[in-house]
Each structure stands twice: as structure tokens, then as C-alpha cells.
Amino acid sequence: SSLFFIFPTRLSSSLTLPWADSKVEKSKQLSPVTRNHQKFITKHFPSVTALSDLRLPCSAILGNPRARELLAMAFWWPLIVLALAYGLCRFLFMLIPVNVPSIDVDVSDVTEGNQAQENSFIYIPPRGRTQQSETKVQCYEPATMKYLGYFPALSPSEVEERVALAKKAQTVWAKSSFKQRRQFLRILLKYILEHQQLICEVSSRDTGKTMVDASLGEIMTTCEKITWLLSEGERWLKPEYRSSGRSMIHKKAKVEFHPLGVIGAIVSWNYPFHNVFNPMLAAVFSGNGIVIKVSEHASWSGCFYFRIIQAALAAVGAPDNLVDVITGFAETGEALVSSVDKVIFVGSPGVGKKIMRNAAKNLVPVTLELGGKDAFIVCEDVDVPHVAQVAVRAALQSSGQNCAGAERFYVHRDVYASFVTQVSQIVKSVSAGPPLTGRYDMGALCMQEHSERLQNLVNDALEKGAEIVARGSFGHLGEGAVDQFFPPTVIVNVDHTMKLMQEEAFGPILPIMKFSTDEEAIKLANDSRYGLGCAVFSGSQRRAREIASKIHTGVAAVNDFASSYMCQAILSLVFT
């Protein structure tokens, strides 16, 4: 209370003391607060010796250091208190649960044991895609070869019809509010968090990955994207004012962001949930419609995930057909590219080139995420046991079928031997088998005949002088699924003349090569036609950043692996 005195009753050239009213009778008792003020004034201003000193010059206060300090406190403290109160209110407001409705999604035909009797058999697909029926997309579990069903391969005319319906719906959705779009995201997030087990099981059955890989690659990344859009999406889509330049200083320059229309997304099979939701979330939040062509190797899961999207859109009153999922082969994808307003593609460089050629006919803009051959650089000043653990995860996650998976390991010669020993010990303990049994560390390969291709890459390296120093083991595999697995493999004495160090493997193989200087490591890392990502490990953050900055890749991780996938501010696609 002693601070209150510094707010004067009257402030002009002098300061009136609150107890110095000439009309107050001497016999009247002073209040405790006023008495404290009196003591404070007489202590810090000795010149005031009696209550009869009715007025105190302002210069006396301003000349006293303690008084100036108290005056400054009196000015700033209320502002600080108000700011803290505002921040506390905002925080408490965030804790108030938003009314998010639940949605019902039919899961009767995707849960284990509820499959129709006529579909409960082992499926042996014909070798070679040309032998597969072009009117049906057959689906099966890679880890067990159990048949899952089929979906139609849409014709070009059917694709054009679906896109036309999406364009009609998009004209309505483009006028929706951000409040409505955020509610759509919240509904999805609630369903995902409440049904993580189901989502991961569906992904595991359709692609052969373990539940852990599904949780990391499907759930975590998708939830992070949703939360980022909820907190940051609207800000990035608001109009921006830019400098108008010296000659136009009397003008205003503003950039506005408008929806493009209908996005066409052709997505890969390795992470079916994330690869469907990733472009869909950004497209819908920015006011677009989207038609997603799922891979023929993951159509079963993609079509189930589409039900989740449909239910959430219906819950917020979005128009029908705003989002659509289509199935088919190359002809279906080609028709989609020529019908939409922008194309998003995740897949191989060869298919990416075809998409660019088709899109160029109608000047359709494209965004491509193509193959990778990520370098993993280990300097001599690292904690080798720790980095070895990260290296194995970087190579074996999702059985090596990871866009940003590490495929080339460059290790400084001073720690090369110890690194190889540590990695070999870990890999030898890894077992591969049917993922839903819960007994194995690594699952199956998704694509038929992929294990044969991986073995060809290994054989080429062995013929040119490489050596296998460690391999993992297999668990109990079904007779028809043996070819869907490949053992985790560590190979040394490799060089860049080998296909294994040049071509994208997309499998659980760790080729390890030594280097002597940072410049040599940079040169080796850049000796590739791929440039998706890299990882650099060093005991010196500065050294690791300097090496990473000289590697020609889109993203780089320093003393970490694939952490950029959890940083949506640099990865999110916004279609405006």
C-alpha cells in the first residue's frame, strides 16, 4: 500500500500530500494507510518535518533516486500485471474444451475377423503388372498374403466426372469460414486420437509395417499437421502488405491468397494414412476441393481412411464430393492430371516426369516429392553407441520403405570400425515377420517382387568387392509370403561404382563407407542425382551445421534423423 502515495491528488508544479489538507482538524485520527504514507515521505524526504508542510516541490521528488525508481515502478508494474493477466486468461481460455462432436465411421469390414467368408483366402498375385486385370485393383496383406478385396479401376471419363463434382462443391466451400474449417480439423483430430489402434492396424495390414512404424509415421505426423494448421493456418492465409517501393510510396501493395480450385493428389503406398491426409488437410483448410488417387498397392486402407474424411466433412455441413478418393492404375492417374487445377505427386522420378509432361499440356502447376538417397554422415567426435541406434532406425523404419530413410552411410575412418561393430550388433538382433503378431521388430515389404530387386542391388555390390557383415533374422512366415520379406543387412567396403550407392533401394540395407575429411564427406554426399534430405552427426553443432549447409538437399537434420517431418512450418503445403 505504500506505493499508492505516488499517485498525486493534484499535480502541477508541486505535489499535494494526501494528509496535508488544511481543513482537516488536528484532532482527527489518520488512517493506517495514510500513516504509512506519512512515514514513507518523512523517511525519504527529510525536508518534510511536519504535517504543516502542505506542499512538496516535484523537483524534490525527481531529484531523489529512490523516488524516481518508485515512480518508474508505478508506471511499469500495472502494465506488467495487465500483460500477465491477459496471458493467463488466454491460457485458461485454451484449456476450455471446444465442443467437438464425435463421428461414426463404419469399420465392420476392416477389423480383423469380420471379413466376408468369400474373401478369406490366400491371394497369389500374378507376376508383372501387365497381367493384372485393368478393371479391378486387387488388395491383399503383404505380410500374410490374405485377400482383402478389390476396388474398381476408374476410367478417364469416370475420373473427369468425379473432378467435375468436386469443382462444383469447391465453389461453395471456398466461401466457408475459418471457424468452420477449424472445426473440421478438430473433429478429425478427435477421431484420430480416439482410434489410433484401428488406424495403425489398417495401415499395417495393407502395407506390412509394424504398429510402431505406423504410429510414428502415420499418427504423429498427421496430428502434428492438424495442430499446426489449427494454430497457424489462418495466419498464413491472411492478406499480406508488402513494400510498394520508393517510387510508389504513396500506394499500398497487398498480396491476397485465394483457393486454386480442385487439387489432384497422386500419393504413394508407404504411409497410406499420412499420404492421404497430408495434401487433403492443407487443400481443404485453404478452401480447395481435392481428388486423391491412392496407390494400387494401398487402395484398401486409402478407401477406409476416406470414410473418416467424409464423416468429418458431413459433421461441419461441407458440400458433398468436396473430397474424393479414386482407385486405379496409370490411366486413372493420367486422367486426373489433365482435369484438375494443381497436381501433387509423391512417388518415383520416372512417374514424376510423366506427370510433368501431361500437366504441361494444360499448364497445370505441379508439386513433386520424388525419390531419395539420403546421406547419413557420422563425424569422429560423436557418441558412437547413440548414433548407431539412430542409424539403424533411419535405415529400418518401415522396412526401409521411407522417403527420408537413410540409404548411404558415410563414417569417419577414426570411428568406422566401432560404428560398424555397434550397428552390426543391433541389426543381428532384429527379426522380421508378420507385424500384427507383435513379436517382430520389422515388417514386410509392400510391393510384390521388391525383395528380388533389393537382392539384385546387393549382388551387384558383392560382385564389385563389397562384403556383408551382419544380417537380421526371419520369424515364422507364411508359405506364400516368403518373398515379401527381406532381412536387414549391413554391407561394408562399398563405393560409388555400385548401384547400391547410386539407385534408390527403398529397403532395409545399410551400406557403410568411410571418409577422412569433412570435404570428402560433402563431396560423397553430393555425388547423387537425388536431393531429398540428409543427416549430419557431430559433437560440434557448428561443424555439423556447416557440413549440412554444403549438401545439396531440400532438408537437412543436424544430430537427428527426419525431425523435419515434425516441423510443419517448413513442410506444409498450402494450395492458394
- Taking only the tens place, the pLDDT of each residue in 215-237 is 999 999 999 999 999 999 999 99
Residue 369 among the catalytic residues: yes
Take residue 521 and report the three cell numbers written for it. 564427406
| pLDDT of amino acid 541 | 96
| pLDDT of amino acid 78 | 77
Bridging pattern class, strands 240-242 and 253-255: antiparallel
- State the DSSP string of 364-427: --EEEE----EEEEE-TTS-HHHHHHHHHHHHHGGGG--TT-EEEEEEETTTHHHHHHHHHHHH
Calpha distance 47→43 (Å, rounded): 9
Is 268 strand, coil or helix? Answer: coil
Geometric angle at alpha carbon 262, from 288 and 276, rounded to 5°: 80
pTM for the whole structure: 0.82
**Residue that has been written with the C-alpha cell 552427426 in this structure:** 537
| pLDDT of amino acid 3 | 36
| pLDDT of amino acid 194 | 97
559 within 8 A of 545, measured Cβ to Cβ: no
Task: Give the type of residue at 362.
Answer: N
| pLDDT of amino acid 9 | 36
Helix, strand, coil shares, percent, the chain, to 5: 45, 15, 40
Q: What is the dihedral of CA 225, 226, 230, 234, to 10 degrees?
A: 60
| pLDDT of amino acid 478 | 78
What are the residues whose beta carbons fall under 8 Å from the beta carbon of 239, sequence distance 6 or more? 254, 255, 256, 257
Ranges in the chain, pLDDT < 50: 1-28, 33, 50-56, 130-132, 573
Provide the strand spans (E) within 108-261.
136-140, 147-152, 240-242, 253-255
| pLDDT of amino acid 72 | 66
Calpha distance 550→540 (Å, rounded): 16
Take residue 413 and report the three cell numbers written for it. 575412418
Q: Which of the residues 218, 369, 407, 504 is marked catalytic?
A: 369
| pLDDT of amino acid 25 | 42
- State the DSSP string of 179-201: HHHHHHHHHHHHHHHHTHHHHHH
Is 293 strand, coil or helix? Answer: strand
**What are the start-end ranges of the H helices in 195-298?**
196-207, 211-214, 221-228, 234-237, 272-285
| pLDDT of amino acid 567 | 82
| pLDDT of amino acid 43 | 59
Take residue 483 and report the three cell numbers written for it. 518373398
Is 230 strand, coil or helix? Answer: helix
- Taking only the tens place, the pLDDT of each residue in 40-95 is 556 555 555 544 444 445 555 555 666 666 666 676 777 788 888 888 877 776 66
Q: What is the DSSP letter of 19?
A: T
